[in-house]
Amino acid sequence: MRILITAGPTREYLDDVRYLSNASSGRMGFAVAAAAVAAGHEVVLVAGPVALKPPQGCHVVSVETTEEMGRACVEAFCDCDGVVAAAAVCDYRPLCRHEGKLTKTGEAVSIEMIETDDVLATLGAGKEGRFVVGFALEASNAREGALQKLRAKNCDAIVLNGPEAIGSEVNSIELIDISGSVVASWDGPKSELARCLIEWIDQRWSGR
């Protein structure tokens, strides 16, 4: 199969030097990409800014903002059999990006924020016969939040994990399928979890 994988954070700029982002390392997405290549799949890896060396054998598309990630994913998805969306995209961006660099004034600063485009929901809405596996990082009411994301974004399965996954080399995840049932749970190094996830995807969708 040819699989689209997203990884890492995105950035939304306040001015020409400052941005909003998150602490995602990209390790999980890169591990999924490496596992997919090892299993014999073609991989398109759309990655936000991370300090990681891409796995060998991937076609890598480097992006920075959520808008850039969305465009790259929509373009790549047309030629793929499915997507594993592990990226931690910014949900909001400043309504206005200031030119140059904001300087201190001694006064409080208010920044109006608007939602970014939802990359995963866009892919889910246009998936047709392709599979969509999302990731949900939830801090409270975790399973309920993951189920809402599964349905709202038209995913076929979703990987649930928590804030402790950020920047870590290990993780603890639950895999929830379209029925809303937990079909697998895995703990350990992200490389091993990625291998298990790709094996599950292979069993479900390979050879369709």
For the domain that residue 59 is a member of, what is the CATH number?
3.40.50.10300
Is residue 25 classed as helix, strand or coil in its secondary structure? coil
pLDDT for residue 179 is more than 90 = yes
Give domain status of residue 155, yes or no: no
Mean pLDDT of all residues in 116-139: 94
Give domain status of residue 41, yes or no: yes
Would residue 161 show up in a list of annotated catalytic residues for this protein?
A: no
Give domain status of residue 162, yes or no: no
* Location of structure tokens 């016969």: 129
d(CA 146, CA 174): 10
The parent domain of residue 32 ranges over 2-133+194-205
What share of the chain has pLDDT > 70, as a percent? 99
Give domain status of residue 106, yes or no: yes
Give domain status of residue 166, yes or no: no
**pLDDT band at residue 166 using 50, 70 and 90 as cut-offs:** confident
Give domain status of residue 198, yes or no: yes
Give domain status of residue 128, yes or no: yes
pLDDT for residue 91 is more than 90 = yes
Q: How many domains does the chain have?
A: 1
CA distances from 75 to 70, 72, 120, 140, 154 (A): 9, 5, 13, 34, 19
pLDDT for the residue numbered 208: 60
| Given the residues 22, 141, 154, 171, the one annotated as active site | 22
> How much is the pTM?
0.93
Give domain status of residue 145, yes or no: no
Mean pLDDT of all residues in the chain?
94
pLDDT for the residue numbered 198: 98
pLDDT for residue 207 is more than 70 = no
pLDDT for residue 55 is more than 80 = yes
